[in-house]
Amino acid sequence: MQSDSLIGAVVDTRYSVIARLGRGGMATVYRAHDARLDRDVAVKMMHPYLAEQPGFVERFNREARAAARLTSPYVVGVYDQGVWDSPLGPQAFLVMEYVAGPDVRSELTRLGSFNLGTALELTRQILAALAAAHHAGLIHRDVKPENILLTSPLPPVSVFQRPEIHAKVADFGLARAASSVTTASTTMGTVAYIAPEIVTNQKAGAPSDVYAVGIMLYEFLTGSLPFHAATPIATAYQHINAPMPPVAEHAEWLPPAVDSFIGLLTAKNPADRPADGAAALAALDDLVKATPEEGFMRRIPVIPTQPAPPAATRRLESATRLAAFPPPQATQSLEDAPAGTATRSAPAAGLLPKQAGSPPPQHASRTGKKSPLTRKRRVVGWLTAILIVLLAAAGAWYFLIGPGHRVAIPNVAGKPYASAAATLKDAGLSPLRSDEYSDTVAQGAVVGTSPKAGQSINPSQDVTVIVSRGVEQVTVPDVSGMTESEAKAALTDARLAMSVTEAYSETIPEGSVISQNPSPTSEVDHDSTVSVVISKGRQPIDVPSVIGDTKDDAVAAIDAAGLQVTVTEDFSDTVDKGVVISQNPASGTVYKGDTITITVSKGPEMVEVPNVRGKTEAEARQILEDAGFKVEKSVLGGLGWDIVYSQDPAAGEQIPRGSTVTLVMI
Question: What DSSP state is assigned to residue 269?
Answer: S
Q: Which three-class secondary structure state does DSSP give residue 556?
A: helix
* Closest residue by Cα to residue 186 from 50, 2, 42: 50
Tell me the backbone φ, ψ of residue 338, rounded to 5 degrees. -60, 155
Task: Return the sign of the alpha-carbon dihedral for residues 190, 196, 200, 205.
Answer: negative
Tell me how many helices (H) and strands (E) the chain has: 17, 28
What is the DSSP-derived secondary structure letter of residue 300? Answer: -
Contact 454, 411 (CB under 8 A): yes
| CB distance 195 to 207 below 8 Å | yes
Nearest to 75 by CA among 216, 208, 170: 170
Q: What are the residues whose beta carbons fall under 8 Å from the beta carbon of 53, sequence distance 6 or more?
A: 180, 181
Active site residue 259: no
Backbone dihedral angles phi then psi of residue 28, each to the nearest 5 degrees: -115, 135
Half-sphere exposure for 516 (CA within 13 Å, toward CB): 26
Task: Evaluate whether 78 touches 68 at the Cβ level (below 8 Å).
Answer: yes
CB 468 within 8 A of CB 437: yes
Q: List all residues 6 or more positions away from 111 whose beta carbon is below 8 Å from its beta carbon.
A: 154, 156, 304
CA 357 to chain centre: 89
My answer on whether omega of the bond before 451 falls inside 30° of 0, hence cis, is yes
> Distance between CA 303 and CA 292 in Å, rounded?
26
Give residues with Cβ within 8 angstroms of 472, minimum separation 6.
437, 525, 526
Query: Going by C-beta distance under 8 Å and a sequence separation of 6 or more, which residues neighbour residue 67?
Result: 75, 78, 133, 138, 172, 173, 174
Beta sheet of 513-517, edge-to-edge order: 497-503, 529-535, 513-517
Helices (H), 180-231: 184-188, 196-201, 206-222
Quick one: 367 exposed, middle or buried, by C-beta within 10 A (0-12, 13-18, 19+)? exposed
Rounded to a whole number of angstroms, the distance between the first and last alpha carbons of the chain is 139
Name the β-bridge partners of 168.
149
Contact 238/187 with Cβ under 8 angstroms?
Answer: no
Q: CA-to-CA distance for 153 and 483, rounded, in angstroms?
A: 55
Burial 51-66 (b: 16+ CB within 10 A, else e): beeeebbebbbebbeb
Cβ contact 480:530 at 8 Å? no
Q: From the candidates 103, 142, 171, 209, which is the catalytic residue?
A: 142
From residue 655, alpha-carbon distances to 543, 632, 645, 661 in Å are: 37, 16, 21, 10
In the beta sheet, which residues pair with residue 647? 663
Q: Which residues are catalytic?
A: 142
